[in-house]
Amino acid sequence: MKAPRSREPRAVRLLLIGLAFATIALFLLVPLAAVFVEAFRNGAGAWLSAVSDPDARHAVKLTLLVAAIAVPVNAVFGLAAGWALGKFRFPGRSLVLTLIDLPFAVSPIVAGLVFVLAFGRSSPLGGWLTRHGIEVVFAVPGIVLATVFVTFPFVARELVPLMQSQGTDEEEAARVLGAGFFTTFFRVTLPNVKWALLYGIVLCTARAVGEFGAVSVVSGHVRGVTNTLPLHVEALYNEYAFQGAFAAASLLTLVAFAAMLAKAFLSRHAGEEAP
Amino acid sequence: MRAARVTPSLLPGFGPALGVTLLGLSLVVLAPLAALLATSLRGSPAAFLAAVTTPRVVAALRLSFLLSLGAAAFSALLGLLLSWVLVRYRFPGRRLLDALIDLPFALPTAVAGITLTTLYAPNGWLGAPLARLGVPVAFTPLGIGVALVFLGLPFTVRTLQPVLASLDAEVEDAAASLGAGRFEAVRRVLFPELLPPLLTGATLAFARGLGEYGSVVFISGNMPMKTEIAPLLVMTKLEQYDVAGATALATILLVASFALLLLLNRLEAWAAGGRR
């Protein structure tokens, strides 16, 4: 891309660039640096012992487990939504699209609260489940449900607009040539949207790993049992174990970094998929 | 012609795909939200009204609304600056700057929360000099505002950037060649085009800020009536077994989210119509 000519005097241009650098440094770069400075304040040994502490290890495992359930569920839903809403027009379509976006607008605390209300012991469903020995709230299933809720739109909102803009010509050609639904979907549609799908999965994974508010409401904060990594960070911080909290936070920051890198890489490819 | 027409009809799999979509949506999103509304409606309207008009709840709602609004406006201003510089100028470090914008999206909110608190605490890197100037940040409404601007920044930058990039700078040149000054060219030619994405980005930032918990809860200090935000009060009420109170306040937040979502749809339609 050719750099657009600039119409401002040089001094104005330099001033604006300087202001932009200052803003980013103050709001984004300094906090980023602070995470690692605080995490390594007492040296690499202290960092290592903080992240290999049994509670921290359990929190990492639980976080990975939750993401391993939430992300595939999200991908399957996103593909179904992409097919139904991207390839077809029908009455009520825009309402469905708005409802899919709803979890982005809802407060994470509200998202957590709804599951406490729906599955808590005072609700009929929760009471029935408790009598059958299944705990949802203040247990792992609740954490998974809350995570699926807050990540719900990620893959769908990448795939629906893309599949819509790609149209149905290629799929119709495949059908005319005798391909069945699965052949059409896996040989024609999926290869056309694979980068956008991966992009959505990356965003979904980052959010699933880092979700705090919704999970905080449903988890019950039992250390070594229902603490995910973000909740472990909070627990340590509230006990003034700052170095340990930042050590755990540095792991989450590395995940965020990986997601940002993957996102930058994938968005270039995903851009090529748009017709 | 049938009233309920699905197009195209040549492709298979519409029914099952829509079925999976609606089933997932209903089970994961709609049923739980309906449970909230049902719980909220089970009590009498008077009890609901009493629960959401206690001084503490009103103070929390006012704080959340005002700070989110202020932070959204400030994010819009910074977003204008950053998107302008990133789109219009070429300079060393531009790609890095551009990549960093996404940090608040990617960084878990609890990490942002404890980091901002540590930075702006009275003994922090930024908090100490500010405190000496007589501007305490952490554990004040200003601290909440800082966290909300951190959070809102990517929304305004990322909605403005593509629109600004799609605008041809030649149009400004044309305006200038017709005798418009630089200021007038920006105001009359650029601003009308940038207004829809600016409002969309600010609304997104506002909606996010209104419900935000993780990045605010540490820096706010959580003093009732002073620095207690609405989502935190929901949490507090729940922990004190005041389920009815938590539900009532959560219902207000949910209705606000829904209204903002509808507003965003209108804004997007407006932006699409304006640019054809």
Condensed to tens digits (0 to 9), the pLDDT of residues A53-103 reads: 999 999 999 999 999 999 999 999 999 999 999 999 999 998 999 899 999
Closest to B257 (Cα-Cα) out of A67, A187, A99:
A99
Q: Is the pLDDT of residue B53 over 90?
A: yes
Backbone angles phi, psi at B7, to 5 degrees: -120, 145
Query: Cβ distance B56 to B225 under 8 Å?
Result: yes
Supply the pLDDT for residue B8: 67
- CB A238, CB B117: distance < 8 Å: no
Q: What is the mean pLDDT of residues B74-81?
A: 96
Question: For residue B208, what pLDDT is reported?
Answer: 94
Percentage, residues of chain A above pLDDT 70: 96
**Cβ of residue A30 closer than 8 Å to a chain B Cβ:** yes
User: What is the structure's pLDDT at A2?
Assistant: 45
At residue B178, does pLDDT exceed 90?
no
What is the spatial distance between Cα A94 and Cα A100, in angstroms, rounded to a whole number?
10
Q: Based on the number of CB atoms within 10 Å of its own CB, is A129 exposed (0-12), middle (13-18) or buried (19 or more)?
A: middle
Least-confidence region, from A104-108, A175-179, A202-206, B130-134? A175-179
Distance between CA atoms of residues A148 and A7, nearest Å: 48
* Contact residues for B144 (Cβ-Cβ < 8 A; gap 6+): B63, B67, B216, B219, B220, B227, B229
> Residue B9 has what pLDDT?
67
- The average confidence (pLDDT) of chain B is 89
pLDDT of residue B230: 95
The domain limits of chain A are: 1-39, 42-273
* Cα angle A58, A63, A68; round to 5: 125
Distance (Å, whole) CA A33 – CA A27: 11
**Euclidean distance between the first and the last CA atom of chain B, given in angstroms as a whole number:** 30
Task: Express each pLDDT in A217-267 by its tens digit.
Answer: 998 776 667 899 999 999 999 999 999 999 999 999 999 999 999 988 888
With CB atoms and an 8 Å threshold, state whether A102 touches B258: yes
How many CB atoms sit inside 10 A of residue B173's CB?
A: 14
Q: Which residue has the higher pLDDT, A121 or B84?
A: B84
The closest of A146, A269, A139, A135 to A202, measured between CA atoms, is A269
pLDDT at B142 over 80: yes
Say if the Cβ atoms of A88 and B214 lie within 8 Å: no
Q: Do B214 and A212 touch (CB under 8 A)?
A: yes
Higher pLDDT, B273 or A150: A150
Which CATH topology does B45-275 take?
MetI-like fold (1.10.3720)
Given a cut of 60, is residue A4 above it in pLDDT?
A: no
Q: Is B216 on the interface with A (CB under 8 A)?
A: no
Residue % of chain A over a pLDDT of 90: 66
CATH architecture observed for domain A42-273: Orthogonal Bundle (1.10)
d(CA A215, CA A150): 10
Closest listed residue to residue B85, CA positions, set A15, A62, A205 = A15
Q: Across the interface, do A84 and B14 touch by the CB < 8 Å criterion? A: yes
A179: three-class secondary structure by DSSP: coil
pLDDT at residue A3 in the model: 47
Say what the ipTM of the complex is.
Answer: 0.90
- Within an 8 Å CB–CB cutoff, is residue B259 touching chain A? no
Which contacts (CB < 8 Å, 24+ apart) does range B39-44 have?
B39/A117, B39/B243, B39/B247, B40/B247, B40/B248, B40/B250, B40/B251, B43/B244, B43/B248
